[in-house]
Amino acid sequence: MAQTYPPGPKSTVPLGNIRLLQKERLNFLTTNREKYGDIVHFQLGKRHFYQLNDPDSIQYVLVKHPEMVNKSPALKNTTRQTIGQGMLTSDGEFHKRQRRLVQPAFHSKRIAAYADIMVNYTRDMLDEWHGDDEREISHEMMKLTMRIVSKTLFDADVSEDADSIGGAITIGIQSAAERITQPIHLPDWMPTRKNRQRRHSAQIIEKAVMGMIDERRALGEDKGDLLSMLLLAVDEADGGQMTNRQVRDEAMTLFIAGHETTANALAWALYLLSQNPDADAKLYEELHSVLGGRTPTMAVLPKLVYTDMVVKETMRMYPPAFAITREVAAAFELNGYAIPKGSILLMSQYVMHHDPRYFPEPDRFQPERFAPEYEDHLPKYAYFPFGGGPRICIGNQFAQMEAVLVLATIMESFHMSLMPGQTIVPSPLITLRPKYGLQMTLTAREPAVSPEKVI
pLDDT digit string, tens, across residues 394-422: 889 999 999 999 999 999 999 999 999 99
pLDDT in tens, 148-161: 988 888 888 877 77
pLDDT tens sequence across 24-70: 889 999 999 999 999 999 988 788 999 999 999 999 999 999 999 98
Terminal Cα-to-Cα distance of the chain (whole angstroms): 63
Distance CA 53, CA 38 (A): 4
332-334 and 337-339 beta bridge pairing: antiparallel
Quote helix, strand, coil % in the chain, to nearest 5: 55, 10, 35
Q: How, if at all, do strands 344-347 and 47-52 pair?
A: parallel
Reading phi first (left if > 0) and then psi (alpha if -120 to 50, else beta), residue 155 is in left
Instruction: Taking each helix axis as running N to C, give the angle between helix 305-317 and helix 396-413, from 0 to 180 degrees, rounded to the nearest 10.
Output: 110
Whole-angstrom Cα Rg for the chain: 22
Phi, psi of 96 (to 5 degrees): -60, -40
User: pLDDT at position 452, please?
Assistant: 39
d(CA 258, CA 321): 12
Q: Taking the mean position of all CA atoms in its chain, how far away is CA 251?
A: 16
Q: Are the beta carbons of 41 and 7 closer than 8 angstroms?
A: yes
* 50 CA to centre of own chain: 23
For residues 343 and 220, the model is more confident at 343
Q: Is the alpha carbon torsion for 162, 165, 167, 170 positive or negative?
A: negative
Packing angle of the helix pair 137-154, 162-180 (nearest 10 deg): 100
Q: Which helix (H) or strand (E) holds 404?
A: helix 396-413
State residue 300 phi and psi, 5-degree precision.
Answer: -95, -5
pLDDT at residue 418, as a whole number: 96
3-class DSSP state for residue 18?
helix
Percent of residues, the chain, with pLDDT higher than 90: 52
222 C-beta neighbours (distance < 10 Å), count: 12
pLDDT band at 245 (very low <50, low <70, confident <90, very high): confident
Using DSSP's 3-state secondary structure scheme, residue 335 falls into coil
Contacts of 37 (CB under 8 A, 6+ apart): 6, 7, 53
Q: What is the pLDDT of residue 176?
A: 65
Please give the share of the chain, as a percent, with pLDDT higher than 70: 86
421-445: average pLDDT: 92
Report yes or no: 102 and 258 within 8 Å, Cβ to Cβ. no
d(CA 407, CA 297): 12
Phi, psi of 326 (to 5 degrees): -140, 145
- pLDDT averaged over the chain? 86
Write the pLDDT tens digit of every residue in 270-307.
Answer: 999 999 999 999 999 999 999 998 999 999 999 999 99
Task: Round to whole Å and give the CA distance between 62 and 326.
Answer: 9
For 114-148, the pLDDT digits (tens) are 899 999 999 999 999 998 899 999 999 999 998 99
Per-residue confidence (pLDDT) for residue 178, from 0 to 100: 64
Tell me how crowded residue 412 is: count the other CB atoms within 10 A of its CB.
24
**Mean pLDDT, residues 224-245 taken together:** 72
Residues 304-315, mean pLDDT to the nearest whole number: 98
Per-residue model confidence (pLDDT) at position 40: 96
d(CA 401, CA 287): 16
Distance CA 399, CA 412 (A): 20
208/356: higher pLDDT: 356
pLDDT at 325: 92
| Predicted pLDDT of residue 423 | 94
Single-letter residue type at 397: Q
Is the pLDDT confidence value at 185 over 70? no
Q: What is the pLDDT of residue 238?
A: 64
User: Would you state the pLDDT for residue 187?
Assistant: 60
Q: What was the pLDDT predicted at 144?
A: 95
Question: Is 310:367 a contact under the CB 8 Å cutoff?
Answer: yes
Which of the residue ranges 165-174, 204-213, 285-294, 390-399 has the most confident prediction, judged by mean pLDDT? Answer: 285-294
Residues 332-385: pLDDT tens digits? 999 999 999 999 999 999 999 999 999 999 999 999 999 988 888 899 999 999
